[in-house]
Amino acid sequence: MGRVIAITGKGGTGKTAITAMFLRSLLKRDDKCIILAIDADPDANLADTLGDKVEITVGDIRENLQESMASLPPDYDKKQYFAAKVFEVLLEKDGYDMLVMGRSEGSGCYCYLNSLLKGIMYETMDDYDLTIVDTPAGLEHLSRKTITGLESLIVVSDESRRGLKTAETIRQLADELDLEYENLYVIVNKVHEQSRDQVLNTADGLDLKVIGMVPYDENIARLDLVGDPLIGLPDDSPAVVEVENIIKEIGLGG
The answer to the question of residue 107 lying near another protein (CB under 8 A) is: yes
- Candidate segments 13-21, 112-120, 218-226, 243-251, binder of another protein by CB under 8 A: 112-120
Q: How far apart are CA 103 and CA 62, in angstroms?
A: 9
The minimum distance between CB 235 and another protein, in angstroms, equals 24
**Binds another protein (CB under 8 A): choice among 30, 31, 43, 94:** 94
- Candidate segments 11-19, 47-55, 65-73, 228-236, binder of another protein by CB under 8 A: 65-73
Determine if residue 218 is left, alpha or beta; phi over 0 gives left, psi from -120 to 50 gives alpha, anything else beta: alpha
Around 242, how many Cα atoms within 13 Å sit in the side-chain half-sphere?
16
Q: What is the DSSP string of 142-167?
A: HHTTSS----EEEEEE-SSHHHHHHH
The answer to the question of residue 225 lying near another protein (CB under 8 A) is: no
Q: Binding string to another protein for residues 116 to 135, with x set by CB under 8 A, is what? A: -------xx-xx--------
Per DSSP (E only), the strands in the chain are 3-8, 35-39, 91-92, 96-100, 130-134, 152-157, 183-191, 210-215
Q: State which residue, 22 or 128, has the beta carbon closest to another protein.
A: 128
Residues in 29-48 at the binding interface with another protein, rule: CB under 8 A? 34
Instruction: Read off the DSSP letter of residue 104.
Output: -
- Candidate segments 42-50, 86-94, 166-174, 243-251, binder of another protein by CB under 8 A: 86-94
**Binds another protein (CB under 8 A): choice among 30, 43, 53, 111:** 111
The minimum distance between CB 176 and another protein, in angstroms, equals 17
**Binds another protein (CB under 8 A): choice among 70, 162, 176, 227:** 70
The answer to the question of residue 74 lying near another protein (CB under 8 A) is: yes
The answer to the question of residue 194 lying near another protein (CB under 8 A) is: no
Q: How far apart are CA 20 and CA 17, in angstroms?
A: 5
Element (H, E) at 120: helix 111-125
State how far the alpha carbon of 220 is from the alpha carbons of 20, 159, 175, in Å. Answer: 11, 17, 33
- Candidate segments 105-113, 131-139, 183-191, 216-224, binder of another protein by CB under 8 A: 105-113
**Phi/psi of residue 54, nearest 5 degrees:** -125, 120
Q: What is the DSSP string of 194-222?
A: GGHHHHHHHHHHTT--EEEEEEP-HHHHH
Q: State which residue, 112 or 232, has the beta carbon closest to another protein.
A: 112
Instruction: Read off the DSSP letter of residue 70.
Output: G
The answer to the question of residue 176 lying near another protein (CB under 8 A) is: no
The answer to the question of residue 92 lying near another protein (CB under 8 A) is: yes
Rule CB under 8 A: which residues touch another protein?
34, 69-70, 73-81, 83-84, 87-88, 92, 94, 97, 107-109, 111-113, 115, 123-124, 126-127
